[in-house]
Amino acid sequence: MQSYLLASGVLMILIGIVHSVIGEILIFRQLRAGTIVPLLAPPPLRERHLRILWANWHLTSVLGWGLAALLIVIAGAPDLTTHKLHIRIIAIATLAGSVLVLYATKGRHPGWLGLLIAAGLAWLGQSGA
């Protein structure tokens, strides 16, 4: 078992959980009208805009969980050499996400740091293969 890849995958699962839960509490809870999908769009948004924002908010978590699952499965592979490219792609994509959040929030949103650590752990995991 490759511990760096496992740690990166678990961290990405936790980031996704925190992202979805905190988003629901801080952003979407007050925009609900007794429905799962928020409908009370504040101006200048329309209901359809709010629906796609909500879907994309959670899509980020779902895709992160998919990448995390891949890392966890690869962590248990007997030979990591055939997965080096896959791990590098995941690490670089996660790093790019970290830079995006860092830049967009001027470093005020802690998500960039979690993503940076997950990317670094994944990169360390592939370099030991």
Polymer length of the chain: 129
Residue 1 has what pLDDT?
Answer: 84
Is the confidence at residue 128, as pLDDT, over 90? no
Residue 127 has what pLDDT?
Answer: 77
Residue 129 has what pLDDT?
Answer: 52
> Which runs of E-coded beta strand occur in 8-118?
none
**Cis bond upstream, residue 44 (ω within 30):** yes
CB 58 within 8 A of CB 20: yes
Q: Which residue in this structure is represented by tokens 């830049």?
A: 103
Which pLDDT band holds residue 33 (cuts at 50, 70, 90)?
confident
**Phi, psi dihedral angles at 2 (to 5 degrees):** -85, 110
Instruction: List the domain range (segments joined by +) for residue 24.
Output: 3-127
Question: pLDDT per residue over 36-58, tens digit each?
Answer: 999 999 999 999 999 999 999 99
CA dihedral 107, 18, 57, 7 (to 10 degrees): 80
Q: Report the predicted TM-score, pTM, of the whole model to 2 decimal places.
A: 0.92
Is the confidence at residue 89, as pLDDT, over 90? yes
Which pLDDT band holds residue 120 (cuts at 50, 70, 90)?
very high
The number of folded domains in the chain is 1
